Structure 1
């Protein structure tokens, strides 16, 4: 199908999957913004593009709705895996995917209808080193480092899980509000400490093996859920001794389960849903710039 798409979501974090070989146009930043626009386009938290890979079974490029490129996305990987299975591009239940943020292994969980209703993803290893994000602070690890945003003096833990994250915790029993996310998120995303910008999680421990997070994604803004954010926040919570693994990460969109190994290798398991398949209309494609 020319200019075809597959739409799916992971806990409300929605992506459009496309095969560039089936498009009559190139996925430039401007065209990506047009497709992802929720009023004038198809609407999406990003675009997942199937690309060739010499290192894995499949290659994946991940584009944010502002046209920039992301290294890795946990929800995006689950959606991409369901797309591969649902469209017959693979009959395997386990395969590898190459992203800009590293190679990942995915195992599908097939329901009684034959759908890949959930997936387990080996997300790689978390690191707290400044060079991995990058971050301009001259410290060995980004553990509870000071940062100022929106007139507030805060402490953050910086984590890379193949893409950058800034995690800020409140104490157990306290809460984060959406208003705080909308105030702090864009400031922290574009903070001078992070020359390539960063994803942001406002987190609080809610049990011995459980945390709750609000999410501001680099290039996308507020999202209902995020797999890589869940991995980053879970690894930071374990590193700070706030919780023990495996960690249940609760978000406005739902819950993911994150296993954090002793070396901070991360395994994510969660649901994934297909929403629609279709094709962009020729008249819409002509409006893309």
Structure 2
């Protein structure tokens, strides 16, 4: 089994690069993503490429759950399609479980621009909860997948690891949620730490960047164009008055990986 590995601002994915059907079981995905027993990644992308049909993709988290949408994952898939000559520099569309996105490859594949669709806000846009004696103000928003934005004085990894897994599983979010801890630097810059649903603490996230910027703009904290700074790198977000979100960010190819059948044989020992 072959995979091509890329990272997008430190968020790495394996793209399935084989003709045989991929075992999309929770156990197999978790094993392949395992950084000690498998190839190691933040997730797996399984492109669905059929002649004359819409390009689409399935996106899997490290715990084997399937994500509706991933900004970094989609940028990586665009680069993979460009590397294979399936797309060129002209704009094209991709289908995800979270809706259609409009994509364009820039800078010879090193940057990708994606119109991610609308940020959708619930009727109740803010919730207050007390966790570990702290009063937290939650701002839910959907980018085709669920997000929860919190504004903090200092966005730290410690904070994300402490509260992220608790917020992810709150009853308020029946399908769990991605969590962003956001510090507003100024009207054009945000600092964000991320707890990703089904993954854990992560270096960066495309849809999390979109969510953080969309909520910040809706509250009047930032302008229409925002740079989101994360431990793994930066992503630029543009927003309009109808909550449409345009994301642009980097992609880097890591290499071609071959998974030995002995690796998957571990499944019988582990489960």
Same fold, judged at TM 0.5 (above): yes
- 1:118 is matched with 111
State how far apart, in whole Å, the 2-side matches of 1:191 and 1:76 are. Answer: 25
Which residue in the other structure is 1:132 paired with?
none
8 Å Cα contact 1:15/1:79 also seen in 2: yes
Q: Say if 2:40 is the partner of 1:43.
A: yes
Q: Following TM superposition, by how much is the alpha carbon of 1:280 offset from its aligned partner in structure 2, in angstroms?
A: 0.9
- Residue number in structure 1 paired with 2:120: 127
TM-score by length of 1: 0.88
Task: Say yes or no: does 1:141 pair with 2:124.
Answer: yes
**SS of corresponding position for 2:110:** strand
Instruction: Work out whether 1:275 is the aligned partner of 2:254.
Output: yes
Aligned length: 268
Partner of 1:87: 84
The alpha-carbon distance between structure 1 residues 277 and 53, as it changes in their structure 2 partners (threshold 3 A), is same
Question: Is 1:18 matched with 2:16?
Answer: yes
Counterpart secondary structure, 2:164: helix
Is residue 167 of structure 1 aligned with residue 149 of structure 2? Answer: yes
Query: RMSD value over aligned CA atoms?
Result: 1.8
- C-alpha contact 2:31 2:264 (8 A) present in aligned 1: no
Q: Could you tell me how far 1:90 is from its partner in structure 2?
A: 3.1
**Contact 2:15 2:45 survives alignment (8 Å):** yes
SS in 2 for 1:83: helix
Aligned counterpart in structure 2 of residue 185 of structure 1, from 156, 164, 186:
164
1:4 CA displacement = 1.1
Query: Mind listing any 5+ residue stretches in structure 2 that lack a counterpart?
Result: none
- Describe how 1:1-289 pairs up with structure 2 within 5 A: 3-19=1-17, 22-23=19-20, 25-52=22-49, 57-91=54-88, 93-111=90-108, 116-129=109-122, 140-142=123-125, 144-170=126-152, 174-288=153-267
Tell me, yes or no, if the aligned pair for 1:150 and 1:183 is still in contact at 8 Å. no
Measured in 1, the distance between the counterparts of 2:158 and 2:257 equals 36
Partner Cα separation in structure 2 for residue 213 and residue 92 of structure 1: 30
- Contact 1:55–1:98 at 8 Å: present in 2 too? no
Distance 1:56 1:199, change over 3 A: farther
Q: Distance between the aligned counterparts of 1:45 and 1:198, measured in 2?
A: 16
- Residues 92-113 of structure 1, C-alpha deviations (whole Å, 9 max, x = no match): 54211100000001100133xx
Match of 1:134 in 2: none
Q: 1:55 to 1:209 in 2, by over 3 A?
A: farther
SS in 2 for 1:22: coil
TM score, norm. by length of structure 2? 0.94
